[in-house]
Homo-oligomer: A and B are copies of this chain.
Amino acid sequence: MEKTTREKLIYAATDLFRRKGYSAAGLTEILQAAGVPKGSLYHHFPGGKPDLALETARWAGRYLSRLMEEAFQESTSFKEGVTRICNAIADIHDARGAWDFCPVTGTLLGGPADERFRLAALEIFESWVKLSKTHAIRLGMAEARAELQSRAALLLIEGAWITARADGSADIIRRIPDMLEA
């Protein structure tokens, strides 16, 4: 399966944005990693770097949504679902040998103080909470508690994504499930 130019750009950008953040990741650097000339970037993303970042974050957001959906589908309790998600994210960290930002954080919130960026990030975060809450209720949790637990899970995961970078280890991510009911 041949990757399209657009996909190459999004993959390379995802990688660099979450490793270095929006500002520190240079356009030339992304282009080089993608093996794509500058002209192609501005053909596919006329808005330049911000356009690419927005699209990249949405793509990563959908990727993680899928990961979460599968985790919950296989689970018989909310905690089991969160455990699967955390293990999966921690495994990604370990496999990369790098402790990056959450792709949404690195790409959007590390970028310019643009309202479009803020809203795109908000939309992705809220979609995750909604997904989690829906499954929590499906698995027997009361609505109010499902809401609070889902938001707590998001904060714990985002926080762990940060401190894991400082730790140089993904261990803290695997400890999240215990924190949810501590």
Contacts and interface: CB of A to CB of B under 8 A. Distances in A.
Q: Could you say which of A102, A118, A148, A155 has the most chain B C-beta atoms within 10 Å of its C-beta?
A: A155
Interface string A132-146: 000000000000010
B160 A155 contact: yes
Contacts of A152: 156, 179, 182
A151 interface: yes
Interface of A: 19-24, 101-102, 105, 108-113, 118, 121-122, 125, 145, 148-149, 151-152, 154-160, 162-163, 165-168, 172, 175-176, 178-180, 182
Question: 10 closest A-B pairs (Cβ-Cβ)?
Answer: A155-B159, A159-B159, A158-B159, A23-B23, A152-B179, A23-B24, A121-B166, A122-B166, A158-B162, A155-B156
